[in-house]
Structure 1
């Protein structure tokens, strides 16, 4: 089974200073895709530069030719399906059909309260996500949509001419719980995980692999329940949140070892954070670029 290598570029640079160069370099290095986080601010970056995901991806689409582009991930925290669908159709058109929408239920970070609301409880996040994804699917595949739900509404929403990619751009659904995995099974062209957060601080590599194996098994059961072959769904691991995060980028050999163990689990794509000095994603840029250029053939 071949394994694709992608990167996620946090939107922390002014476009004309360093932003454009990073996205173009990602294409030069041969990454399959480059993603960005769809937040209004995030963790330790909250008090520093942070630009909007969709405008950044639009700029990246005009600065690159082959690189797939996308969000990891968009959530309902500050998005509405109707307006998001219009922006995605536009972005898919500008990019020539190179967009993947990573989408998840959201969490309790800054995005959860920035609009002045109380942070949603886990059940409400799951309920909203359960409406958001099917409605967005309809908006991206039908010319006119009317819908009245518990959380979202649409009245004769028109998205003509639709996506360049047919029947719509692919969804990469981030999920580990049963309800989210059912959405991934039904609507996802890909599934995204960051591993088991309970293992982030004190877990071992072996425990992480076992947890990921369990997640993939649950995805397989969710697919079996609706008669879908789980092999139809790409499986994406967003790295940086597993116990090996501090060693996997030490050398190309260390990364090949990490990637090989996860390919055996069934992952088809691994996403690395573009290095950011003095952050949780600090790494040697030269080694990072060697991993991109030297390990691709070994991972096919």
Structure 2
């Protein structure tokens, strides 16, 4: 698969004050997709403006024509499969079938306790995630679903007419552990990584590449266990969380060097953050746009 370049636009702007313009500009620049985080708040943005992911994507669907749209990522932290499925079917319809659901187990910080629950243990997050993905897949592919699980239930949940994309909109499953990778292999049309989180603080760029290679190897094994060819699966890397941090956005050459290393491993889509001044995602807008329009051609 040829490498694709996408962006993630954090929902920090009022729609009338720059929000709409960013999504439209992303389409003009030729990005394959534009994603947004599905959180209630996030890290350094916690005390500032932050809008909902699905309303933002719905507005973006009406403001664009070709750009794929999606979450990166949605988690069970504050979502229920029954209501999420209804909203996703609606968004897929409004966008004309341009939606990808990035989905992950979620973490223990930020908005994980916003609904008043205690933070879940890693084991409980994994258990909930497995049930969440399984039920969501069923809800998006069947007209009526009844289900009783340990964490989620559905009673005659109707989802007619279903997704525009068949048999349902694609899942991009974020996972690095064995259980998550098996879920990705079984239910994902794509797999998502941010690199090895253990290397974020003290690792080196040279350590990051073989770490991602190892993740792809374990994904390959998970696919082989169920008779699936991993080559037919998109492999998405959300950048900004490897030891390089934002340095790949310093110049086109720096990005091409960075992208080439991961493309050689089999990564098929790189996602870069739309620049936000005075944040972890600060970058020169002109360089960012030059990367968007020139970098992929240089990787050919």
Q: Smaller-chain TM-score range?
A: over 0.9
Q: Aligned-pair distance for 1:244?
A: 1.3
Aligned to 1:187: 187
Aligned to 1:251: 251
| Deviation larger for 194-203 or 7-16 | 194-203
Aligned to 1:242: 242
Q: Write out aligned runs for 1:1-300 (5 A).
A: 1-300=1-300
Q: Aligned-pair distance for 1:243?
A: 1.1
Q: Aligned-pair distance for 1:18?
A: 0.4
Q: State the secondary structure of the residue aligned to 1:86.
A: helix
Q: State the secondary structure of the residue aligned to 1:272.
A: strand
Q: What whole-Å deviation, never above 9, does each CA across 1:203-227 have from its counterpart, x for those lacking one?
A: 1111000100000000000000000
TM-score by length of 2: 0.99
Q: What whole-Å deviation, never above 9, does each CA across 1:120-161 have from its counterpart, x for those lacking one?
A: 000000000010001000000000000000000000001000
Q: State the secondary structure of the residue aligned to 1:295.
A: helix
TM-score by length of 1: 0.99
Q: State the secondary structure of the residue aligned to 2:7.
A: strand
**How many Å separate the matches in 1 of 2:57 and 2:106?**
20
Q: Aligned-pair distance for 1:109?
A: 1.7
List alignment gaps of at least 5 residues for structure 2.
none
Q: Aligned-pair distance for 1:112?
A: 1.1
**How many Å separate the matches in 1 of 2:246 and 2:103?**
26
**How many Å separate the matches in 2 of 1:170 and 1:256?**
28
Q: State the secondary structure of the residue aligned to 2:270.
A: strand
Q: What whole-Å deviation, never above 9, does each CA across 1:153-209 have from its counterpart, x for those lacking one?
A: 000001000000000000000000000000000000000000111111221111000
Q: State the secondary structure of the residue aligned to 2:102.
A: strand
Q: Aligned-pair distance for 1:105?
A: 0.3
Q: State the secondary structure of the residue aligned to 2:249.
A: coil
**How many Å separate the matches in 1 of 2:297 and 2:58?**
30
**How many Å separate the matches in 2 of 1:289 and 1:245?**
18
Q: Aligned-pair distance for 1:253?
A: 0.7
Q: What whole-Å deviation, never above 9, does each CA across 1:225-279 have from its counterpart, x for those lacking one?
A: 0000001110000000001123211110110011011000000000000000000
| Deviation larger for 202-211 or 169-178 | 202-211
**How many Å separate the matches in 1 of 2:157 and 2:278?**
45
List alignment gaps of at least 5 residues for structure 1.
none
**How many Å separate the matches in 1 of 2:156 and 2:262?**
45
- Contact 1:61–1:95 under 8 Å retained in 2: yes
